[in-house]
Chain A
Amino acid sequence: MKAVTIIKQVPDAEARVRAAGGRVDLGGVTFVIDGMDEYGVEEAIRLREGGFELEIVALALGPSRSEDALRTALALGADRAVHIETDAWLDPLTQARVIAKVVEAEGAQLVFVGGKQADWDSAALGPALAEVLGWPHSDWTTALSLSDGSARVKHDTDGGQEELTLPLPAVITTQQGLNEPRYPTLPNIMKAKRKELAKRDLAEFAPGAALTELVSEDIQTQGRRGVIVTGDAVSAAAELVRLLRDEAKVI
């Protein structure tokens, strides 16, 4: 059986990003594999360690630097990697259409997608991919087991939990709690160099015109107001409550 794990490269959580000219400036930022995607790689590895004969293919759609995130996936335990290289910004549905072609060509039975991308907070790729493929989809998955051609999954709901079964092939989007991802050992980092990393051109997949266009980006900034509330404790507390409620609107 074959599993494809989608890999996205995102700025490190501690990276400082700035916006300039309507675009986020990522110059000087350290990029890492998206933590949500690590859950997918880890889950695939655990399925294999649990006895499933599973070939794990890491797939990235993105700029050339995404190769580093694929190398990380290979060092974690993916068997080989495919990199569709593009600098273009693609909306999630267009991404899904491209990725679906690779998934179908690979004949994969399982696709892991990060539940929510750590950079632009989009959670659309998993559902969009399931839609394009016409496959069942488990959202925000916190537990997964396979048997007899179907997957049994758990996912959290607001204040509760659901258990579902879905026939394979299926798309699984990940969630914190699915597992505790390992990190690559030094020997596996060295072995990863000898694993296949195939480069593909986006044009091969005829993605068509984008459905949406990115017009501009901005970043929320937080600053201190520098207000010091003075007076006796009782009146200062009342003033603080008023400021928090009426001005900051946080209570």
Chain B
Amino acid sequence: MSTPDRNPQSGAAGARVAAPTGGAFLTERQDANTVLIPEAFDDDLKMFAQTARTFVQREIVPDFAKLEGLDYALSRAKMATAGGLGLLAVEVPEVYGGLGAGKAAASVVTEAVAASGSFNVTFNAHVGIGTLPLVYFGTEEQRARYLPRLATGEWVAAYCLTEPGSGSDSLAAKARADLDGDEWVLNGTKMWISNAGFADLFTVFAQVDGDKFSCFLVEKGAPGLSLGAEEHKMGIKGSSTRQVILENVRVPKGNLLGEIGKGHRIAFGILNIGRFKLAVGASGGAKQLIGLAQAYAKERRQFKVPIATFGLIQEKIGRMAADTYALESAVYRLAGSMDAATDGKHDPAAQLAALNDYAVEYSFIKVFGSEILDYVVDEALQIYGGYGFSADYPIELAYRNSRINRIFEGTNEINRELTVDQLLKRAMRGELDLLGPAQAAMLGRPVETVTAPAAQADAELALANLKLGTLMVAGMGAMAYMQGLEREQELLARVADMVGLCYMAESALLRSERLQGARGGEVALLLARLYAFAAVDRARDLGTEALRRIPRGKEALPRFQAYLAERGVDLVELRRQAAEAVYAADGYPLG
């Protein structure tokens, strides 16, 4: 691939953004100067974001109602406009008409487009799971044939993995592909396919010889290719979702994508990036909703005062802001790591291998992103009160649209399992030293001092011990259940959440450390401390429940609770202050 080296985003004082080992955050603290934060974006990123926001304002907002009514021609036209602006080409290599830019660049676009309702799904299904399989697995010929058209929006792509009988268990697909002379003959039914109604290119997974999971490129109009009716969905009603039915569909032999029996590499590699992108979109959506909710709270008067002055409203807005800040910080920290990890790698397979290094992070960030967005939209609706429940106001639609995020790109349940599963696999493959630190945590004592800026030293200390508590529970669980751990889903989920809380809280604190004394520094510090201390409270509950179940875990509770000690920080006060910061900024106060 001839994509030139990207400019890795600069950290502070010329430090380069680093690519730490995936999962290593549990045992090592990254240098804050090597983390990508939105405040350090270069001009390109700022201008990409501005163009994407202008696109939404000029092209989507005026036609919002029509797009939500599901209008194939209009959706296609908007995709073409997006294509003309380069918004569909960010991750496509330059030789195929793309920009060859990285995940941070793609992320600023994704965040902005998140404010476009259902069109967000159309857009992301195309640029992510629709286009990326070709970017990472296409042959020279396949990429030359399809990528230029996908990059301009002349063609729209759909990704066909799920079947009526196989969702989370995607490798159990029943669709089959049989070689007949120079052609593959495809048969099967694919379910919940975004963009199906107006897509030109379908990326279809099917079994060869019964169990060799493989991937094929099918063009619209192929005889035997048909579509089911539009699904009647709860939300994202303006995106097309249909079954894709293949009955003796013949495609040339050369339309096999990747290798026979290696389809799982495509499916999981692309899903990994899709999970990351989902979290990015959630960050953009949450910021938009905070803007709406705070404006309404200031405007709506009850008992002769704006409801924004009430503690229970401030509490919601304060938590919304802290959660969103942590999510945004985590998303760009991870984007920076992804770009640094692939920097200088020209071979797409090597790039994807480097990206797969963060499989643990993708899984929990998808869970946290979708659940934070759901929390934010739920409380935004509550702040709007009766008007929130009315379809004449914007929250009702956002509420319905948000819900799918906990289901697609792998349900949150599967992603919680994957978080721990991948973490343990990385440890067993020797890619990550978890065993030593976990054993030390099972026997150790709380850390009493950390090196950190004074203003956030209390939260840093809490975080250092949160990591030890997490390692302790994970280690005890792994030892107690060994190979049977996978049957302890409830335990896995709790460990996954604790692992995610460590990363989120750390990302929040790394950013506030970087912003010390800079614009936004005080607000970042406030939100980072709020998030970190709330994370400790949540982790204490999670870990306590886990230890009560693990054999001999009850005896370990005092040690665990010493790690997650009560630190006496008044979170009610911090949430009030956070709400005031939102009000003063007329919306999400950073980014």
Q: Which residues of A approach B to under 8 Å, CB–CB?
A: 14, 16, 27-28, 68, 71-72, 75, 183-190, 193
Give Cα A94–Cα B109 distance, bound, in whole angstroms: 41
The answer to whether A186 touches B48 (Cβ under 8 A) is: yes
Which residue of chain B lies nearest to A189 when distances are taken between CB atoms in the complex?
A: B47
The answer to whether B586 touches A72 (Cβ under 8 A) is: no
The answer to whether A183 touches B89 (Cβ under 8 A) is: no
The answer to whether A186 touches B586 (Cβ under 8 A) is: no
The answer to whether B47 touches A72 (Cβ under 8 A) is: yes
Give Cα A189–Cα B586 distance, bound, in whole angstroms: 29
B90 touches A (CB below 8 Å): yes
Which residue of chain A lies nearest to B520 when distances are taken between CB atoms in the complex?
A: A28
The answer to whether A71 touches B86 (Cβ under 8 A) is: no
- Set of chain B residues within 8 Å of A68, measured between Cβ atoms: 43, 46
The answer to whether B85 touches A185 (Cβ under 8 A) is: yes
The answer to whether B44 touches A183 (Cβ under 8 A) is: no
Q: Which 4 A-B residue pairings sit nearest by Cβ, starting from the closest?
A: A186-B86, A183-B54, A189-B47, A185-B85
Give Cα A28–Cα B101 distance, bound, in whole angstroms: 29
| Cβ contact of B99, chosen from A16, A28, A190, cutoff 8 A | A190
Which residue of chain B lies nearest to A180 when distances are taken between CB atoms in the complex?
A: B58
Q: Return A108 CB to nearest CB of chain B, in Å.
A: 26
Give Cα A193–Cα B4 distance, bound, in whole angstroms: 15
The answer to whether B47 touches A75 (Cβ under 8 A) is: yes
CB-CB under 8 A for A185 and B51, given A190-B44, A190-B99, A193-B44 = yes
The answer to whether B43 touches A184 (Cβ under 8 A) is: no
The answer to whether B85 touches A186 (Cβ under 8 A) is: yes
B338 touches A (CB below 8 Å): no
The answer to whether A186 touches B54 (Cβ under 8 A) is: no
Give Cα A71–Cα B45 distance, bound, in whole angstroms: 13
Give Cα A188–Cα B86 distance, bound, in whole angstroms: 9
Which residue of chain B lies nearest to A226 when distances are taken between CB atoms in the complex?
A: B304
The answer to whether B44 touches A184 (Cβ under 8 A) is: no
- Set of chain A residues within 8 Å of B109, measured between Cβ atoms: 186
| Cβ contact of B51, chosen from A27, A189, A193, cutoff 8 A | A189
- Set of chain A residues within 8 Å of B44, measured between Cβ atoms: 189-190, 193
| Cβ contact of A71, chosen from B43, B51, B99, cutoff 8 A | B43
- Set of chain A residues within 8 Å of B502, measured between Cβ atoms: none
CB-CB under 8 A for A184 and B519, given A16-B586, A190-B44, A193-B44 = no
The answer to whether A187 touches B89 (Cβ under 8 A) is: yes
The answer to whether A184 touches B51 (Cβ under 8 A) is: yes
The answer to whether A184 touches B84 (Cβ under 8 A) is: no
| Cβ contact of A186, chosen from B43, B90, B520, cutoff 8 A | B90
B87 touches A (CB below 8 Å): yes
- Set of chain A residues within 8 Å of B51, measured between Cβ atoms: 183-186, 189
- Set of chain B residues within 8 Å of A187, measured between Cβ atoms: 86, 89, 99
Contacting residues of chain B (84-101) with chain A, CB-CB under 8 angstroms: 84-87, 89-90, 99, 101
Among B85, B90, B519, the most chain A Cβ lie within 10 Å of the Cβ of: B85
Q: Return A154 CB to nearest CB of chain B, in Å.
A: 25
The answer to whether B89 touches A184 (Cβ under 8 A) is: no
Give Cα A188–Cα B520 distance, bound, in whole angstroms: 30
Which residue of chain B lies nearest to A228 when distances are taken between CB atoms in the complex?
A: B304
Q: Return B266 CB to nearest CB of chain A, in Å.
A: 26
The answer to whether B84 touches A185 (Cβ under 8 A) is: yes
- Set of chain B residues within 8 Å of A193, measured between Cβ atoms: 43-44
- Set of chain B residues within 8 Å of A27, measured between Cβ atoms: 519
- Set of chain A residues within 8 Å of B585, measured between Cβ atoms: 16
- Set of chain B residues within 8 Å of A184, measured between Cβ atoms: 47, 50-51
Give Cα A184–Cα B58 distance, bound, in whole angstroms: 13
> Could you list 6 further interchain pairs (A-B, Cβ under 8 angstroms) beyond the known A16-B586, A186-B109?
A71-B43, A184-B50, A184-B51, A186-B85, A186-B90, A193-B44
The answer to whether B99 touches A186 (Cβ under 8 A) is: yes
- Set of chain A residues within 8 Å of B43, measured between Cβ atoms: 68, 71, 193
Among A68, A71, A185, A188, the most chain B Cβ lie within 10 Å of the Cβ of: A185
Q: Return B43 CB to nearest CB of chain A, in Å.
A: 6
The answer to whether A189 touches B519 (Cβ under 8 A) is: no
Give 5 CB contacts A-B under 8 Å.
A68-B43, A68-B46, A186-B85, A189-B48, A193-B44
Which residue of chain B lies nearest to A186 when distances are taken between CB atoms in the complex?
A: B86
- Set of chain B residues within 8 Å of A186, measured between Cβ atoms: 48, 51, 85-87, 89-90, 99, 101, 109
- Set of chain A residues within 8 Å of B86, measured between Cβ atoms: 185-189
Give Cα A16–Cα B58 distance, bound, in whole angstroms: 23
- Set of chain A residues within 8 Å of B520, measured between Cβ atoms: 28
- Set of chain B residues within 8 Å of A71, measured between Cβ atoms: 43, 47
- Set of chain A residues within 8 Å of B101, measured between Cβ atoms: 186, 190
Q: Return A164 CB to nearest CB of chain B, in Å.
A: 32
- Set of chain B residues within 8 Å of A72, measured between Cβ atoms: 47
Q: Return A198 CB to nearest CB of chain B, in Å.
A: 17
Q: Return B284 CB to nearest CB of chain A, in Å.
A: 17
Give Cα A232–Cα B554 distance, bound, in whole angstroms: 71
Give Cα A102–Cα B590 distance, bound, in whole angstroms: 39
Contacting residues of chain B (494-541) with chain A, CB-CB under 8 angstroms: 519-520
Give Cα A75–Cα B85 distance, bound, in whole angstroms: 12
